[in-house]
Amino acid sequence: MPTYLADILASHRARAGADVRDPDELAVLAGRLPAPRDFVGALTVPGLSCIAEIKRRSPSKGALDPDLDPAVMAKEYEAGGAACLSVLTDHEYFGGSSEDLALAHGASRLPVLRKDFTVQECDVVDARLMGADAVLLIAAALSDPELVAFGARAASLGLAALVEVHDEAELDRALSAGATLVGVNQRDLRTFSVDTDRAVALARAIPAHVVAVAESGIRDGFDAKRLADAGYDAILVGETLVRSTMRTASLATLIGHTVAER
């Protein structure tokens, strides 16, 4: 059975082990940049919001759109009503780059999530330096002390931290680490299989004060409404939108559904 997460993390941690940079020194540079855009605020307007993703390929599906133009796609997503963007910056497994993020950020007014495998504090600061407004922290990839430290580093930089979980145990860890923005990924990162009931099953365990995002396996308006009915404030959609030939129209079917109370 493939172990995608283990392989990806081994690669990222090997690079991190050779990184001699000081995150405090990097943070000084990051502090000179304009203030980040309000990622959480963009997700808490009435109706279901969408974080629209820009990615070239994935380990399980291969090429999605390897020649995509991040600036063009960002403008399409903004025109379609996306609340935020998510940009893959991992190159080895997803074909992304920091340049993709910078181009997307510069082409729209939307807050941008750096979608990558954060394994050290320098990764958090790097997200800010490349122009991101939010950073992804994957509970399955991090220890409890790392979740706390990376979340604190993000807060000190004005970055939102989207803490991704896959089950109730990881959700408990995220909440104990102080997470107020939680993503439930319906994709198992060990096998990359999708369970479309995962987010609905976990919704009631997410406290009302936490901004809840459902991720992966969202194909159409029916899926989006089902997640809004479960109480999710937002959805993160990648493959469906990347493959669409009418991205603005596809987005229109995903957003605006009334969000039920959790």
> Per the residue annotation, which of 76, 216, 239, 250 is the catalytic one?
216
Phi and psi torsions of 38, nearest 5°: -85, 95
In a domain, 25, yes or no: no
Count how many domains the chain has. Answer: 1
Question: Mean pLDDT of all residues in the chain?
Answer: 95
Using pLDDT thresholds of 50, 70 and 90, give the confidence band for residue 120: very high
Residue 23 lies in a domain: no
Q: pLDDT confidence of 101, banded at 50, 70, 90? A: very high
Domain range for residue 202? Answer: 4-16+38-254
Q: What is the pLDDT of residue 129?
A: 97
Residue 198 belongs to a domain: yes
Q: Which of 55, 86, 239, 250 is catalytic?
A: 55
Specify if 152 maps to a domain.
yes
pTM: 0.95
- Which CATH number is 240's domain given? 3.20.20.70
Indicate whether 22 belongs to any domain.
no
Instruction: Please report whether residue 21 resides in a domain.
Output: no
Residues 113, 108, 255: CA angle, nearest 5 degrees: 70
User: Does 144 fall in a domain?
Assistant: yes
Give me the phi and psi of 170, to 5 degrees please.
-70, -35
Q: What is the pLDDT of residue 1?
A: 37
Using CA atoms in the order 126, 129, 133, 138, what is the torsion angle rounded to 10 degrees? 0
Select which of 164, 170, 239, 250 is catalytic: 164
Q: Is the pLDDT of residue 125 over 70?
A: yes
225 is catalytic: no
Reply yes or no on whether 76 is catalytic: no
Catalytic annotation present for 61 = no
**Segments in 81-162 forming alpha helices (H):** 98-107, 121-129, 144-156
Instruction: Give the tens place of pLDDT for each residue, 141-154.
Output: 999 999 999 999 99
Q: Is residue 32 part of a domain?
A: no
